[in-house]
């Protein structure tokens, strides 16, 4: 990945449309960096942002993946409060999705992405916290030079404020 300074230099030279083409600005990388999502979690989340009342079987068919992998991704997204889960009758689900062949007895979970505005707010909050942490670290970096062991490594007891 490019350094921040080289990315900023490039931003000054090219317009915003060209920046969108750069891989580093794709949601996959942002979701991974800021929220810690893996590739499958990001793909499932993106699918849920564009589709509503999604069942596990719909996701397994779409991604052509095993049910347990999809369920792990859904559970991770649910635990991070990025998606919601609700129980729905199979009858209601089959009517909603226009599935005539589905049995109409029983229940299943359906998933929806939470409000994208709230998710953006959380991402900005996390980014701000990270920035403030890095800012404090940079402010205390001069004390790093006072604490070196003989082999040039930082002293293990060093902590920044």
pLDDT tens, position by position, 23-40? 444 667 788 888 899 999
Determine the pLDDT at residue 25. Answer: 46
In whole angstroms, what is the distance from residue 75 CA to residue 79 CA? 6
The ranges assigned to domains in the chain are 1-36, 38-125
Helix (H) / strand (E) element for 148: namely: none
Class of domain 38-125: mainly alpha
In whole angstroms, what is the distance from residue 64 CA to residue 48 CA? 16
Average pLDDT of the residues in 46-70: 95
Determine the pLDDT at residue 109. Answer: 96
Looking at the chain, the whole-number percentage of residues with pLDDT higher than 90 is 44
Determine the pLDDT at residue 83. Answer: 97
What are the distances in angstroms from CA 106 to CA 35, 41, 68? 35, 27, 20
What's the mean pLDDT when you consider all of the chain?
A: 82
Determine the pLDDT at residue 76. Answer: 97
What does pTM read for this prediction? 0.71
In whole angstroms, what is the distance from residue 43 CA to residue 72 CA? 13
């Amino acid at each position: 990945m490019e350094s921040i300074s080289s990315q900023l230099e490039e931003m000054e030279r090219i317009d915003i449309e060209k920046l969108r083409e750069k891989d580093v600005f794709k949601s996959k990388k942002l979701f991974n960096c800021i929220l810690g999502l893996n590739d499958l979690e990001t793909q499932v989340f993106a699918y849920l942002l564009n589709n509503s009342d999604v069942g596990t079987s719909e996701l397994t068919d779409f991604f052509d993946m095993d049910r347990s992998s999809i369920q792990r991704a859904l559970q991770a997204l649910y635990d991070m409060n990025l998606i919601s889960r609700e129980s729905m009758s199979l009858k209601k689900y089959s009517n909603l999705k226009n599935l005539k062949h589905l049995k109409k007895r029983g229940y299943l979970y359906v998933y929806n992405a939470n409000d994208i505005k709230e998710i953006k707010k959380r991402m900005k909050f996390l980014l701000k916290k990270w920035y403030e942490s890095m800012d404090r670290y940079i402010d205390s970096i001069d004390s790093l030079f006072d604490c070196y062991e003989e082999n040039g490594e930082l002293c293990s007891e060093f902590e920044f404020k």
